[in-house]
């Protein structure tokens, strides 16, 4: 992992996954630096594993600024520039949005923070980006970077947090002092070994994997554009992440479409895959300016380097078959 990110081994801290990495970066980072200031900045489109720890810190007395995004779901850099203050201690943004595939300009954000607020920590939730992009935290002025193993076909229940050697982070799990006192408790050695193997494999064939996923994405988008009442959301296909496509099927509720496709062996998700059971409209899609009606009709199609063009064609075939029927019974 250290070689892939071009960092030192002692800057990699193994965790139980992305959620723990984000919590440690945010809560541990804020607590360790509270003497320098009280101000935290994040965006309106973060995963709950970032937005909830930030809300917790706000309850503890930290001041929080939430940055808006544009219609494609990308954070507005001018808003960040205005929000940065001498007492800003932590900025947290994702690199790839889990619902829309929008890619944040993390390199520009890191440079801006370094120039305007050199003492502030910059945390990047790279859980959807690691294994799809080459990421260089030191070059990009990123101090904390969260990664999850199962997003790259590694074992579940393991991940890591890159912590720059100069960054101050307070441990949240205390006890036996494992990992230089930063995370007590027995390390998940088989999980860590599996993560190492998965990371090595995914980066060995990165360029061809990414190109394959972009081709799948373009292929399905072409087919979808020929189906009435389907909108493709977010950035231009090649500007967004290779593995995520957000679409709105106007007039068909996302859960209804999900179950219809599930019956045919096709699995997609509504909103964030880890919180699809929640009934609240997606904060990400709301922040992009979508109406509640469109949000209710929005689904996420995800790709892996293991998917095939035949699977994409089958998905299009099934959509063409089920959508006319679903629209007939749709609630108007």
* CA–centroid distance for 5 within its chain: 18
CA–CA separation, 222 vs 192, rounded Å?
40
300 and 268 Cβ atoms separated by less than 8 Å: yes
Please enumerate in sequence order all residues whose Cβ is within 8 A of that of 255, keeping only pairs 6 or more positions apart, or say none: 270
22 and 125 Cβ atoms separated by less than 8 Å: yes
CA–CA separation, 311 vs 317, rounded Å?
10
CA–CA separation, 92 vs 142, rounded Å?
10
The yes-or-no answer on residue 274 being catalytic is yes
User: Beta strand 88-94 with 63-67: parallel, antiparallel or unpaired?
Assistant: unpaired
Q: What is the DSSP letter of 100?
A: T
Q: Which helix (H) or strand (E) holds 43?
A: strand 39-43
13 and 163 Cβ atoms separated by less than 8 Å: yes
3-class SS letters over 156-215: CCCEEEEECCCCCCCCCCCCCCCCCCCCCCCCCHHHHHHHHHHHHHHHHCHHHHHHHHHH
Find the catalytic residue in 172, 221, 266, 274. 274
CA–CA separation, 229 vs 324, rounded Å?
11
Based on its alpha-carbon atoms, the radius of gyration of the chain, rounded to whole angstroms, reads 20
Token pair listed for 220: 């399905």
Residues marked as catalytic: 274
């Amino acid at each position: 992992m250290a070689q892939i990110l071009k960092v030192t081994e002692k800057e990699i801290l193994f965790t139980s996954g992305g959620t723990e990495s984000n919590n440690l970066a945010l809560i541990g980072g804020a607590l360790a630096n509270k003497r320098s200031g009280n101000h935290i900045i994040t965006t309106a489109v973060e995963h709950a594993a970032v937005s909830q720890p930030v809300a917790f810190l706000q309850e503890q007395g930290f001041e929080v600024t939430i940055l808006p995004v544009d219609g494609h779901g990308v954070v507005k850099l001018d808003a960040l520039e205005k929000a940065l203050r001498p007492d800003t201690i932590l900025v947290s943004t994702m690199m790839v949005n889990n619902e829309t595939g929008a890619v944040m300009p993390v390199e520009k954000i890191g440079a801006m923070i370094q120039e305007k607020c050199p003492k502030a920590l910059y945390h990047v939730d790279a859980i959807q980006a690691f294994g799809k992009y080459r990421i260089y935290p030191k070059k990009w002025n990123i101090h904390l970077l969260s990664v999850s193993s199962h997003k790259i076909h590694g074992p579940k229940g393991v991940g890591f947090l890159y912590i720059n050697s100069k960054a101050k982070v307070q441990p949240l799990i205390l006890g036996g002092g494992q990992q230089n006192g930063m995370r007590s408790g027995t390390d998940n050695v088989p999980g860590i070994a599996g993560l190492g193997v998965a990371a090595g494999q995914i980066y060995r064939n990165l360029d061809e994997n990414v190109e394959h996923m972009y081709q799948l994405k373009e292929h399905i988008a072409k087919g979808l554009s020929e189906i009435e009442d389907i909108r493709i959301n977010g950035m231009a296909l090649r500007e967004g992440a290779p593995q995520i496509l957000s679409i709105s099927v106007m007039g068909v509720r996302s859960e209804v479409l999900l179950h219809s496709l599930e019956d045919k062996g096709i699995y997609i998700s509504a909103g964030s895959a880890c919180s699809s059971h929640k009934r609240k409209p997606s904060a990400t899609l709301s922040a992009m300016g979508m109406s509640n009606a469109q949000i209710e009709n929005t689904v996420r199609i995800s790709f892996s380097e293991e998917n095939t063009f035949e699977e994409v064609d089958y998905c299009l075939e099934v959509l063409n078959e089920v959508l006319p029927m679903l629209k007939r019974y749709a609630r108007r």
